[in-house]
Amino acid sequence: MSNIKISVKNLYKIFGDNPSEMIEHLEAGYTKESLLKEFGHVLGLRKINMDILQSDTQVIMGLSGSGKSTLVRHFNRLITPTTGDIIIDDENIIKKTDLEIRNMRRHKISMVFQNFALFPHRTVSQNIAYGLITQGLEQGKINSKIDKWIDKVGLNGFEDHYPSQLSGGMQQRVGLARALATDGEIILMDEPFSALDPLIREEMQEVLLKLQKDIQKTIIFITHDLDEALKLGDSIAILNNGEIVQKGSPQNIILRPINNYVAKFTKNINRSRVIQVSSIMDDDLKVNGPTIDGNMLIENALEVLSEKGSLTGIVTHNSKPIGSVNLYKLIKVINQPALIK
């Protein structure tokens, strides 16, 4: 059985009076700039194809105007594509009726916004209850879910506070609890932490990572920050001018940027602290040295080799040898990662 939760096929979004007629121009080679100049239409998304696995955190990133927020709003049909399909659990949501879409938003897909989007006249508990009320749950179940998620996101004692009485980080905890309380299978997060101070942002990232270990939702997370993408993402898709230019694991994105646009995102990353040993190991098992877990980061592997006074190490997975590394390659990856194959 496939573990693909969401499949996007040949998705286009063009803004203008005659968007459908613009497809042939794009397929003929028109760019975003030339489409706007000659026809007065704005290209939002161009031939998006991607699969998102169940229970994964799929990060979508890019610079401002790259199309990432436009894309995420297609998954709950806040935006309807010009053409293309979005398959969720083998159902094409592009063909759903308005009533079916509303039910999908109530029960299956929830969203966390950048600007918190809380009701200012409602308390923390009342904000969290909103989605549960629209689901038609009885008050006892609503109260139980409110208590559960207030505890999980660390808002105990603030149940009766209003958003204006909370810090930005606490407001976003309310937004996260509201999204999770409906128990939807898919969570959309559109730059949810970008308005927060750096320390609070890091704190919220840790909250999300801890929650995801427990809830195992399918999360689509939008960001323009590669550090955040590497920390949270099981997979990363990088957009430019409405197109996916590269999609893959965080390790692959860092080690093998496909072009200069992607390379600019990765150039200032401390690779020793994000690249796992298994991503750059050799197949040779005929070496001596200490064992190094394949999930270990390069900086930790360097420490192990240094402590043991060894130039080589045996890479393991579940205590079984799967490859090897040597000191020189680890250093080379840090200094020239794009050259390593």
- Split into its structural domains, the chain has a count of 2
Q: Could you say which of 238, 266, 294 is where a domain stops?
A: 266
Helix (H, G, I), strand (E, B) or coil at 6: strand
Same domain, 189 and 89: yes
Residue 141 CB coordination number (10 Å) = 11
Same domain? For 321 and 223 the reply is no
In 3D, which of 168, 177, 172, 183 has the Cα closest to residue 126? 177
Instruction: Give the three-state DSSP class for 286.
Output: coil
CA angle 118, 120, 121 (to 5 degrees): 125
pLDDT of the residue at 1: 46
Residues 133 and 275 in one domain: no
Do 199 and 79 fall into the same domain?
yes
* Three state DSSP letters for 142-202: HHHHHHHHHHHCCCCCCCCCCHHHCCHHHHHHHHHHHHHHCCCCEEEEECCCCCCCHHHHH
Torsion of CA 281, 286, 290, 296, to 10 degrees: 20
CATH code for position 99: 3.40.50.300
H or E element that contains 217: none
Integer-rounded Cα radius of gyration of the chain? 23
- pLDDT, residue 117, reads 86
Asked whether residue 24 is assigned to any structural domain, the reply reads no
What are 312's two structure tokens?
């080589």
User: What is the rounded CA–CA span in Å between residue 58 and residue 340?
Assistant: 25
Same domain, 281 and 252: no
Looking at the structure, tell me whether residues 63 and 164 fall in a common domain.
yes
Domain span at residue 149?
A: 4-13+45-266
∠ Cα 330 333 335 (to 5°): 110
- What are the tokens at 119? 């009701």
Token pair recorded at residue 115: 């600007």
| Alpha carbons 60 and 204: distance in angstroms, whole number | 18
Q: What CATH number did the domain enclosing 330 receive? A: 3.90.1280.20
- DSSP reduced 3-state for 74: coil
With the C-alpha atoms ordered 213, 215, 219, 222, is the resulting torsion angle positive or negative? negative
Q: Give the pLDDT of residue 340.
A: 45
Asked if 275 and 166 sit in the same domain, the reply is no
Q: What is the mean pLDDT of the chain?
A: 93
Classified as helix, coil or strand, 263 is helix
| Per-residue pLDDT, 337 | 53
What is the b/e burial string over 266-289, where b = at least 16 CB atoms within 10 angstroms of the residue's CB?
Answer: beebebbebbbbbbbbeeeeebeb
Token readout for 295 is: 């999930």
Last residue of a domain, one of 266, 301, 317: 266
The one-letter code for the residue type at 215 is I
The number of beta carbons lying within 10 Å of the beta carbon of residue 39 is 16
Q: For the purposes of burial, counting CB atoms within 10 Å of the CB of 38, is it exposed (0-12), middle (13-18) or buried (19 or more)?
A: exposed
Tens-binned pLDDT, residue by residue, of the chain (341 aa): 479 999 999 999 999 999 999 999 999 999 999 999 999 999 999 999 999 999 999 999 999 899 999 999 999 999 999 999 999 999 999 999 999 999 999 999 999 988 878 999 999 999 999 999 999 999 999 999 999 999 999 999 999 999 999 999 999 999 999 999 999 999 999 999 988 999 999 999 999 999 999 999 999 999 999 999 999 999 999 999 999 999 999 989 998 899 989 988 888 888 888 899 999 999 988 889 999 999 999 999 999 999 999 999 999 999 999 999 999 999 988 886 554 44
Are residues 231 and 128 part of one domain? yes
Question: Which of 266, 283, 316 lies at the terminal end of a domain, its last residue?
Answer: 266
Evaluate whether residue 26 is within a structural domain: no
Alpha carbon distances (Å) from 259 to 59, 262, 266:
19, 6, 11
Q: Is residue 116 part of a domain?
A: yes
